């Protein structure tokens, strides 16, 4: 397997580092590092990227923080986004992150321009955690909190997307550790 450039985005809003999403992000990075992949990490909770509030703001030049994130995503061949399900979708801070970063000219061709999604050739894995059982999320909620990110943002931008749903995260320590091991093995393969 050849080395890949891997960026892991911890989408948990809590910057303290004491969350399961942080542990999952670290596990993926540990596996990728052990396999010799080049790695980088971003913690959304530590960034200052407020929500966009108007079309004019969306069309304006991104600020320095958003440009640094864009550079990290350009560098990466494979992007991993880890986040908790909050009120049926990604946390507001993660949504604001994508609003600030995935603008015309970076992730999307401007209206009327050819090219569509500008991230073609890149892959992504979305890892979503939740308290409810994963089958319940899939059957009752139709994975809506995953589709908005995977389809509405990443695929639209051109990424090829895979996902991992981890339900019942408040379960036993053994189950949480087993998931950490699975995520580390995904990191080894950078998939």
Please give the pLDDT value at position 1: 67
Average pLDDT over residues 93-108: 96
Show the DSSP H helices in the chain as ranges: 20-34, 55-59, 64-75, 92-101, 134-139, 144-149, 156-157, 173-189
Q: How many domains does the chain have?
A: 1
Please give the pLDDT value at position 115: 78
Encode pLDDT of 145-175 as tens digits.
Answer: 899 999 999 999 999 999 999 999 998 999 9
CATH number for the domain spanning 15: value is 3.40.50.360
Percent of the chain with pLDDT over 70: 99
Q: Are 11 and 83 in contact (CB under 8 A)?
A: yes
Q: Provide the domain limits for residue 14.
A: 5-189
Encode pLDDT of 41-69 as tens digits.
Answer: 999 999 999 999 999 999 999 999 999 99
Q: Are 180 and 27 in contact (CB under 8 A)?
A: yes
Average pLDDT over residues 1-29: 95
Mean pLDDT of the chain: 95
What number of CA atoms fall less than 13 Å from residue 56's CA on the CB side?
0
Please give the pLDDT value at position 171: 85
Tell me how far the alpha carbon of residue 84 is from its chain's centroid. 11
Please give the pLDDT value at position 161: 98
């Amino acid at each position: 397997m050849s080395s890949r450039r891997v960026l892991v985005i911890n989408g948990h809003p809590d910057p303290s580092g004491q969350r399961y999403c942080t542990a999952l992000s670290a596990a993926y990075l540990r596996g990728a590092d052990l396999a010799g992949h080049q790695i980088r990490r971003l913690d959304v909770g530590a960034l200052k990227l407020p929500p966009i509030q108007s079309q004019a703001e969306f069309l304006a030049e991104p600020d320095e923080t958003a440009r640094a994130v864009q550079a990290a995503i350009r560098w990466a061949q494979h992007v991993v986004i880890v986040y908790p399900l909050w009120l049926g979708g990604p946390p507001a801070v993660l949504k604001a992150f994508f609003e600030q970063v995935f603008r015309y000219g970076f992730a999307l061709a401007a209206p009327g321009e050819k090219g569509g999604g500008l991230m073609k050739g890149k892959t992504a894995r979305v890892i979503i955690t939740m308290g409810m059982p994963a089958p319940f999320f899939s059957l009752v909620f139709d994975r809506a909190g995953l589709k908005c990110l995977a389809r509405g943002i990443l695929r639209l931008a051109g990424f090829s997307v895979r996902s991992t749903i981890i339900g019942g995260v408040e379960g036993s320590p053994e189950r949480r550790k087993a998931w950490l091991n699975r995520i580390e093995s995904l990191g080894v393969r950078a998939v």
